[in-house]
Structure 1
């Protein structure tokens, strides 16, 4: 079999293996299983590996595919394939090769292995609600139809239990009441009797909403500003669970269109391992899990470009979101400037307080709360983090404020130290034995 040739799966006793293509990285992995949170577990597609194997015609694989696309509903960078367990290695390699260098023949063979995304309106796989059970006629009276939602790409989103991303202008008569034209977002929920009920999220103009307790949590001035101008609280809050009455940790966000407040359990959310092909570092994960905004570099976007962007957990989006330009500007403009903070070597540096520590009094701000200003980055990296570059790798003394390379005196001292070390290591010449 040639490098790009694949054999489509056929009926038989042999079970199938699921393969996942990460389009950003151009790599194919084999599915090992799913953890309790529904996250995908993968392993290298090497022959004889520990793969999850399923009957191609069984209900199990249908459920797995539905769960996969429900979990990754907003991810266009993943593709799912299915092949015989005995052909996993050659098919994985061929899928990667065709992704890098597509050909008409290769495309045809890849399609034979592809598991179709269950977003066909006739298919309810992955949907939380059955479209057939929704009273579309009542919604049509106020101006919303299934076709409207499909045109704005909100159909799949609301069927899976999320609030629409777009707003819709509604008007008309409902239950004898005349509804003036107003902008709303749409979601559905299931009533106790099993019926699917539409929920219209109107724009809230109440300016004092943020000044009132939210499920027992009172917003500080800083938190009110974050919700109003950025859209997210910027930290994890403790609220009273409306269902159990106990205290739960949550992310809180404000819908930028309707101004509605929403929360999401912080202890139920898991940070992804990578974003747009870039690995999320342990420090970034910790910041995300604390509700902070994080700037990530060199993210690979669908148009082939690499850009930097700020991301933050959003309760409205039920996960990480790219902050819009207005929120980023507010974030940058509102950064609390500090001076005189000391690094690990006791040398002062300047910077701005990170979002999670905004509002701290200057005397309580610690070095870990501060992102160094551009002129202090090398100083802090060397003195606090122990990092070095070509210019500082031989530096024994702490860098002074704003210093990014050794001074002439320090270089001269370094050279003398090195010369002494070389002479000490050099073996002494023997003068011979005296007679």
Structure 2
């Protein structure tokens, strides 16, 4: 995967990434790639799975026709060169367009950056054939023999998503396409197994679940997870239960005294005002370190010394 990514490709397979929203983490599947930043450094970019390719929306200034959509659904490739606008510079480039079969992401490849090897599997390509492929065309009914011994007949076409020649309109392609679709549906569903049953969860809100809690969740029961805190630091009792309408588990938090819970816990209000809002009070205005949770005054001799007003210069 790393070798592919170093050549400006996406990883060929999906990886599990765990973005965090508030105090909860979610496991999602994504392909990965590198992005070059203006300062020359690199960032890792996730390409999450989409429910379907956004073919009804304009793509880099191009609107897909009914025929375009049919071709993309059939082979994954547009099959022709189109003019697309570079999103950074606005420059118009002649490109091939394809759909990533695992993520449903629409991708483009400028024709002037396409490199096609002179041999694909056992097929030798002359300059005329390479020219056809660079323009999105098909080299039809080629008798393919793979190094593993597999033999089949297929058309050759360039994929902007894979940055390589792919086999289309063959029994092997249709088999792979069905397999990829099954993998895509399974990867998209975080909460269910391939057979539609609920996945067993070992933790919720960072709290480990015992065997009984896991069994109760799988049975559709409301599960008492334990005592925890919400994103504002308030103490609460956490429950969760699978919601069949939403197709995912939902969290419920019960507070000891709900009327006292308004945004930030009372004990943390001074800390929030000083550290986040830049406010001061007489007890902490000269301190250099950020306040800790529940702190409203100097915590030790060092901070007490910082808080003393400095004397003026000697004359």
Q: TM-score, normalised by structure 1?
A: 0.36
Q: TM-score, normalised by structure 2?
A: 0.49
Larger fraction in helix: 1
